[in-house]
């Protein structure tokens, strides 16, 4: 096995960004047809359809996104009901309405057409790539050190056999990144810290933010306030992980060592799933993903 597998999630992220650009015109057309719904309605409608007939609830969403304010999720659920996207089946459990089902069906059809028109690699090579990725994520579900893999398990609900190769490849890459999310949560959850406080700690460690206000602005989508992040930073300071400065907060040497240890453990969990591949197969995976990342921009179809 290669010394590091960071290239795998970096290439997956790059390829998915390119595929998102390909799909964007089709998505915008469907959104226009359905009256430009709120982003939260789009998100919840897709998940509700993916879980149907099992109802969708806060526990499902929060396990997938432990960095987000659960109170905001609750508000989003209620708003989606009021706007006709979700139906509350039992208290706190939701299913898609006919409008949501029609929207998701149109969205899937439109994006499938866009992706099916791509031909960045021969189909047999794409199928082999999909198989290699599938073996990794299947192995991830059986790793003894990961008690839970909620992000990966949720992602796999959306995989549909029989779809064109590019659609299946996109889903396989989303599965891979979802698994890395699970690996990271498994690495930090032992410290019994709230997800949003851990994310704040990570941004300080990376030098992306240093004040509660910075965090609230950078992480606006998480729906926490500067006051929330101020309280989180104070708790982190009590643990000795960060300290106050004249301009905000910085990670202490002890905090830096701990955060790096969690990053290393994340990689350890993530890399373990790749043990299912031989050295030769791992090299093929690297080559195919690199080739795809290079070829994809040249294979974009003309706008419909």
| Topology annotation, domain 188-263 | Arc Repressor Mutant, subunit A (1.10.10)
What pLDDT is attached to residue 303? 55
Distance of alpha carbon 238 from alpha carbon 234, whole angstroms = 6
pLDDT in tens, the chain (304 residues): 444 899 999 999 999 999 999 999 999 999 999 999 999 999 999 999 999 999 999 999 999 999 999 999 999 999 999 999 999 999 999 999 999 999 999 999 999 999 988 888 888 999 999 999 999 999 999 999 898 999 999 999 998 888 889 999 999 999 999 999 999 999 999 999 999 999 999 999 999 999 999 999 999 999 999 999 999 999 999 999 999 999 999 999 999 999 999 999 999 999 999 999 999 999 999 999 999 999 888 766 655 5
> Are the C-beta atoms of residues 277 and 132 closer than 8 Å to each other?
yes
What pLDDT is attached to residue 162? 85
In the chain, where are the structural domains located? 6-184+278-299, 188-263
- Alpha-carbon distances, residue 177 vs 251, 276, 282 (angstroms): 27, 17, 17
> Are the C-beta atoms of residues 268 and 274 closer than 8 Å to each other?
no
Host H or E run for residue 106 = helix 98-116
**Which of 41, 10, 28, 13 lies closest to 114 in space, CA to CA?**
28
Pairing state of beta strands 93-96 and 56-57? antiparallel
Lookup result for tokens 């898609």: 96
The stretches of 189-278 forming alpha helices (DSSP H) are: 195-206, 212-218, 226-238, 253-272
């Amino acid at each position: 096995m290669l010394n590091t597998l960071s290239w795998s999630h970096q290439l997956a992220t790059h390829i998915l960004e390119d595929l998102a650009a390909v799909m964007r015109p089709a998505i915008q057309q469907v959104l226009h047809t359905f009256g430009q719904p709120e982003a939260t309605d789009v998100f919840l409608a897709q998940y509700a359809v993916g879980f149907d007939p099992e109802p969708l609830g806060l526990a499902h969403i929060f396990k997938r996104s432990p960095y987000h304010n659960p109170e905001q999720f609750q508000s989003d659920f209620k708003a989606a009901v009021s706007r006709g996207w979700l139906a509350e089946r039992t208290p706190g459990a939701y299913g898609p309405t006919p409008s949501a089902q029609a929207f998701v069906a149109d969205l899937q059809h439109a994006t499938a057409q866009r992706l099916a028109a791509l031909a960045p690699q021969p189909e047999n090579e794409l199928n082999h790539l999909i198989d290699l990725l599938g073996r990794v994520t299947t192995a991830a579900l059986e790793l003894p050190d990961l008690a839970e893999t909620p992000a990966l398990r949720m992602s796999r609900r959306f995989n549909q056999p029989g779809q064109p190769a590019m659609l299946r490849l996109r889903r396989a890459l989303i599965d891979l990144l979802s698994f890395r999310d699970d690996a990271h949560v498994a690495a930090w959850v032992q410290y019994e810290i709230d997800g949003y406080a851990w994310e704040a700690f990570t941004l300080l460690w990376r030098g992306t933010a240093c004040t509660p206000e910075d965090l609230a602005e950078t992480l606006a989508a998480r729906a926490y306030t500067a006051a929330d992040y101020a309280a989180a930073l104070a708790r982190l300071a009590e643990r000795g992980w960060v300290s106050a400065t004249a301009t905000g907060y910085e990670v202490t040497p002890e905090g830096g060592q701990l955060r790096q240890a969690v990053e290393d453990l994340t990689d350890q969990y993530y890399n373990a799933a790749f043990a299912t591949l031989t050295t030769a197969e791992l090299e093929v995976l690297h080559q195919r993903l690199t080739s795809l990342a290079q070829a994809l921009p040249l294979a974009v179809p003309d706008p419909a």
